[in-house]
Amino acid sequence: MSEEIKVAKTAEMQQIEDKMTMLVQTGRIDNLIDLLAVVSDQIEMTTTPMVEKVVNSVDNLATVGFITENAVRYAKRETDNNEIPSLFGLLKLMKDEESRKGLAFMLNLTKGIGKQL
Amino acid sequence: MKKKILIVGGGTAGTMTANNLAKKLMPEINQNEIEITMISNSSKHIYRPGAMYVAFHKSSGHEFIRDQRSLLMPEIDFFVDEAVDIQTESNFVKGKSGTNYHYDYLVLATGCEVAANRIPGLEEGGDWFYNYEGAKKIAKKFEKLKKGRVLVTINFPKTPNIPHQCGIAPVETTMMLHDYLTEKGIRDDIEIIYTYPKHAQTVEDGLFLQTPTSNVLPSIFDSINVKYKTSFTLNKVDPDNKIAYSEEGEELSFDILMATPPFEAAKVIRDSGLSSSLDNEGWLPTNKQTLKVEGLDNVYTLGDTVDLSVSKAGGTIHNQTDVVADNIAAEIRYGYPTESYDGKVIAVAQMGLTCGMPLWYDYKEDVQPTPCSKLGSFVRLGFNKGLYWAAARGML
């Protein structure tokens, strides 16, 4: 049987106490404590090299996103602003150095994929 | 008539601003009404804060350098050409190649440079971590150091109320040095003395350029056995006898002098006649709200070149870049700028090798120091090694 003790407290402290009491009474506090423990354990078990590797992967994904988004936007603008090329016109597009660089990149990309299959 | 925007400088400020401008002005770019050009003196982009980690063998440095072109959206024309002359009356910037780059709007983002030669003997006797050459040099010295004294000195610009580059860096590196020497098991054999000049912007006889942080530093330094001394304004170094002299008439010997050296704006700015800062330091007179160069209606500036009181750091630029980009976009669309910079700086300070402290402040409120944490250090690491590049690309 718990003894009731009256303590002078601020309205804010009383609100916190009421909310905490609700969490205890409903049994939710157990799950929340477990969740906090899991979060704390994750921080404890994470090392600097692990963070570096994850961040590196995120950076790679962001780089792919940047290149792809830019290329799609550029291609759309060019397509919108120019007439559909004839067969010969398509070949003429390949005269452009940056187009050839992009094409070579795509072929090297397929080789890079092929090497992993 | 096509409007031309010219950005001079391919560092953090120039790159973020170029990409943000391209994003904000995409409808005009699609209509072929806007042309964005960047010129830089290098084909490489360097993330400067990375040098701090190189100084303590926590990075080799290559991971902080990328091709500038790979960070720019394809709508931006990029030329490797060093700006040598700025003609604001005729609206063009001359490149070393001889090309004149004409503009309707100009963004000067040429940063600042180490100017150790402004203190006699400092170039020969001192070391610093503000660039990669310096960081590699001091890293080798730290590796060889077995006992003795590391002296930390800090110089501010002579022009009043302007900070040195990255205000928190001397505190960060002092704490990193403590951790590094502890890791090596030689901390007890090496004395660290952190000194601070008499005048540090609005702080007198303190240990930091803002009062709240200056007040908590003694207890932090006491807890890690770092000695500290205020009112030591470095003005001369004897490199042969390894003695540092202060304006106040004191002298301190050292084995390694880890200095925050004087800085100056890029040569093209110093030669431009646009700045009236003391000793030709070259800080551009900047409107603290619009970020326009004072007296020039179509020239903006941001980052380390400005004469504002806020930190010369990436965490500042990240908050300035959208103001500049929005204002230029607004001028093109409505004829007047619409945004105002509030002095916001957001960063995570590296307080030792494994502890990070988030910080933020603006023109009105100083940094309120909070305890650093392991999680904070991971956030900083995440920014250094990944998020920075997304921010430079205007993705963040």
Tens digit of pLDDT for each residue in B205-255?
999 999 999 999 999 999 999 999 999 999 999 999 999 999 999 999 999
Which pLDDT does position A7 carry in this prediction?
79
Please indicate whether, in this complex, the C-beta atoms of B395 and A62 are within 8 angstroms of each other.
yes
Half-sphere exposure of B181 (CA within 13 A, CB side): 24
For chain B, domains (ranges, CATH) are 3-111+266-344+387-392 (3.50.50.60), 116-263 (3.50.50.60)
Chain B residue numbers with beta carbons less than 8 Å from the beta carbon of A70 are 73-74
With 70 as the cut, is the pLDDT of residue B189 above it? yes
Residue type, B127: D
With 80 as the cut, is the pLDDT of residue A4 above it? no
The string of pLDDT tens digits covering residues B353-362 is 999 999 999 9
The string of pLDDT tens digits covering residues B300-333 is 999 999 999 999 999 999 999 999 999 999 999 9
Beta bridge partners of B86: B93
Interface test with B, best of A73, A98, A99 (most B CBs within 10 A): A73
> Which residue in chain A has the smallest CA separation from B29?
A77
Please indicate whether, in this complex, the C-beta atoms of B386 and A58 are within 8 angstroms of each other.
yes
Distances (CA, A) of B26 to B20, B74, B239, B390: 10, 12, 55, 19
Which pLDDT does position A103 carry in this prediction?
94
Asked if B354 has any chain A CB less than 8 Å from its own CB, the reply is: yes
Which pLDDT does position B355 carry in this prediction?
96
Which pLDDT does position B121 carry in this prediction?
98
- Other Cβ atoms less than 10 A from the Cβ of B257: the count is 27
Distances (CA, A) of A95 to A79, A83, B197, B346: 17, 17, 62, 47
Q: Name the minimum distance, in Å, from the CA of A103 to any CA of chain B.
A: 17
Q: Is the dihedral of CA A104, A106, A108, A111 positive or negative?
A: negative
Please indicate whether, in this complex, the C-beta atoms of A65 and B395 are within 8 angstroms of each other.
yes
**pLDDT (average), residues B127-148:** 97
**Mean per-residue pLDDT over chain B, rounded:** 97
The string of pLDDT tens digits covering residues A31-88 is 999 999 999 999 999 999 999 999 999 999 999 999 999 999 999 999 999 999 999 9
Q: Is B65 exposed, middle or buried (0-12, 13-18, 19+ CB in 10 A)?
A: middle
Closest to B80 (Cα-Cα) out of B103, B99, B61, B59: B99
Q: Name the minimum distance, in Å, from the CA of B394 to any CA of chain A.
A: 10
The string of pLDDT tens digits covering residues B87-127 is 999 999 999 999 999 999 999 999 999 999 999 999 999 99
Half-sphere exposure of B247 (CA within 13 A, CB side): 15
Of A58, A65, A70, the CB nearest to B73: A70
Counting residues of chain A whose pLDDT is more than 90, the rounded percentage is 91
Contacts for B209 with CB less than 8 Å, ≥ 6 apart: B156, B163, B167, B200, B201, B202, B203
pLDDT class for B1, splitting at 50, 70, 90? confident
Which pLDDT does position A108 carry in this prediction?
96
The string of pLDDT tens digits covering residues B45-103 is 999 999 999 999 999 999 999 999 999 999 999 999 999 999 999 999 999 999 999 99
pTM to 2 decimals? 0.93
With 80 as the cut, is the pLDDT of residue A3 above it? no
H runs (alpha helix) in B224-291: 267-270
Which pLDDT does position A1 carry in this prediction?
54
Chain B residue numbers with beta carbons less than 8 Å from the beta carbon of A52 are 381, 385
Please indicate whether, in this complex, the C-beta atoms of A43 and B374 are within 8 angstroms of each other.
yes
With 60 as the cut, is the pLDDT of residue B204 above it? yes
With 60 as the cut, is the pLDDT of residue A23 above it? yes
User: What number is the ipTM of this complex?
Assistant: 0.84
Chain B residue numbers with beta carbons less than 8 Å from the beta carbon of A36 are none
